[in-house]
């Protein structure tokens, strides 16, 4: 409770002090760009929180599509008067299916980054699957009889207009993996399994845990070489020519007061993780710059 009160009070101060505008000028030269939300498990309280946050975004900002993110990676981003927001999910848990249906109903296209070895399995079955391959997998957030999405649900989600990306194969920390065989197991297997499921090359990969320390130098080089669109998981604006080539995302937490989440999505807390963004720039470079043109009204 004390942490929640501190976050709520911080959000009020950041807004009242004009920090949002100051940080946009200082960190991004006043630019607008793409902000990416990341959700995980969708228990009933999480689903309600997701709806509240997405509705708040829809009421105030243009919503982005996966194709808009492709343009950002490719240097084709079109500047606009405000940030745009993209919704993503990690892990591929069965509870994501209801979120996909609701988003489709309100006209929002999202990217679901799935652990493909979890599909059609319970968490225990997933762990045993990797044990048979001599790998100690990490359970994504939940344990026991929690299940992954079914392949049928994934195909329905694609028909709804959502994109399926890869999110590791055994959900291990890439910061601790250096051997080429381990990297192929975690990254190549995930990309290939998603491609087989969707019938198209998988070009989108979300890093498990998503922080700079969750990427070894070897894993970073492997991703740069093999995957054109890589997503991290710490907050920040994505602006052409100014922010990391691996796209930043804001992980939504059920423990955060709504006021705190709102001010974070407006940019009021970006300075608190600016050092992480700078470290990622040092390691992978910048998103390509683009002159762009304003999006159609």
> Which segments of the chain does DSSP mark as H helices, in order?
2-16, 19-28, 44-60, 66-74, 96-105, 123-132, 151-159, 180-183, 189-198, 217-226, 258-265, 274-284
- Mean residue pLDDT of the chain comes to 92
What's the residue count for the chain? 297
Residue 291: pLDDT band with limits 50, 70, 90: low
295 in a domain, yes or no?
A: no
Total-model pTM: 0.93
Q: With 90 as the cut, is the pLDDT of residue 2 above it?
A: no
Residue 125: pLDDT band with limits 50, 70, 90: very high
Q: With 70 as the cut, is the pLDDT of residue 261 above it?
A: yes
Model pLDDT, residue 297: 38
Which CA distances in Å does 4 have to 1, 9, 122?
Answer: 5, 9, 33
193 in a domain, yes or no?
A: yes
147 in a domain, yes or no?
A: yes
296 in a domain, yes or no?
A: no
125 in a domain, yes or no?
A: yes
> What percent of the chain clears pLDDT 70, i.e. is strictly above it?
91
Per-residue pLDDT tens digits for 56-115: 999 999 999 999 999 999 999 998 999 999 999 999 999 999 999 999 999 999 999 999
Q: d(Cα 296, Cα 101) in Å, to the nearest integer?
A: 27
221 in a domain, yes or no?
A: yes
Model pLDDT, residue 208: 95
Q: d(Cα 297, Cα 281) in Å, to the nearest integer?
A: 32
Lowest mean per-residue pLDDT among 16-20, 213-217, 222-226: 16-20
Model pLDDT, residue 6: 55
Per-residue pLDDT tens digits for 171-181: 999 999 999 99
Q: Residue 166: which H helix or E strand, with range?
A: strand 163-166
Q: With 70 as the cut, is the pLDDT of residue 294 above it?
A: no
290 in a domain, yes or no?
A: no
Model pLDDT, residue 13: 57
Burial class (CB in 10 A: 0-12, 13-18, 19+), 135: middle
What CATH number corresponds to the domain at position 168? 3.20.20.370
Which structural domain range is residue 81 located in? 2-284
Residue 19: pLDDT band with limits 50, 70, 90: confident
Q: With 50 as the cut, is the pLDDT of residue 44 above it?
A: yes
Model pLDDT, residue 9: 57
Model pLDDT, residue 195: 98
For the record, the structure tokens of 116 come out as: 């493909």
Residue 5: pLDDT band with limits 50, 70, 90: low
Give one DSSP letter per residue of 242-276, joined into a string. TSBSSBP-EE--TTS-HHHHHHHHTTTTGGGGHHH
Q: d(Cα 185, Cα 181) in Å, to the nearest integer?
A: 6
289 in a domain, yes or no?
A: no
Per-residue pLDDT tens digits for 137-194: 999 876 567 899 999 999 999 999 999 999 999 999 999 999 999 999 999 999 999 9
Q: Residue 111: which H helix or E strand, with range?
A: strand 110-114
Per-residue pLDDT tens digits for 200-219: 999 999 999 999 999 999 99
Model pLDDT, residue 15: 67
Specify the number of domains making up the chain.
Answer: 1
Give one DSSP letter per residue of 133-154, joined into a string. TT--PPP-S--TT-BBPPHHHH
Q: Which of 121, 207, 204, 114 lies closest to 157 in space, CA to CA?
A: 114
């Amino acid at each position: 409770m004390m942490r929640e009160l501190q976050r709520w009070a911080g959000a009020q101060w950041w807004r009242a002090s004009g920090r949002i505008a100051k940080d946009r000028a200082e960190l991004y030269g006043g630019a607008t760009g793409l902000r990416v939300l990341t959700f995980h498990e969708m228990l009933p309280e999480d689903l309600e929180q997701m709806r509240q946050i997405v509705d708040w975004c829809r009421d105030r900002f243009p919503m982005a599509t996966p194709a808009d993110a492709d343009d950002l990676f490719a240097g084709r981003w079109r500047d606009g008067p405000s940030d745009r927001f993209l919704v993503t999910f990690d892990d591929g848990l069965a509870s994501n299916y209801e979120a996909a249906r609701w988003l489709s109903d309100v006209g929002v296209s999202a990217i679901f980054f799935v652990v493909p070895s979890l599909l059609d399995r319970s968490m225990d079955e997933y762990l045993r699957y990797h044990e048979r391959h001599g790998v100690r997998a990490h359970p994504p957030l939940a344990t026991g009889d929690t299940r992954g999405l079914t392949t049928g649900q994934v195909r329905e989600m694609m028909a709804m207009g959502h994109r399926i990306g890869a999110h590791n194969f055994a959900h291990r920390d890439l910061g601790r993996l250096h051997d080429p065989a381990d990297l192929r197991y975690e990254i190549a297997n995930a990309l290939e399994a998603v491609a087989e499921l969707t019938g198209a090359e998988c070009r989108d990969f979300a890093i498990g845990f998503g922080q700079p320390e969750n990427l070894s130098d070897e894993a970073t080089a492997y991703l740069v070489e093999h995957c054109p669109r890589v997503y991290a998981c710490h907050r920040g604006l994505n602006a052409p020519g100014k922010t990391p080539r691996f796209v930043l995302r804001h992980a939504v937490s059920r423990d955060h007061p709504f006021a705190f989440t709102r001010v974070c999505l407006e940019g009021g807390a970006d300075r608190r993780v600016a050092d992480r963004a700078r470290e990622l720039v040092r390691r992978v470079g910048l998103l390509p710059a683009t002159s762009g043109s304003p999006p159609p009204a």
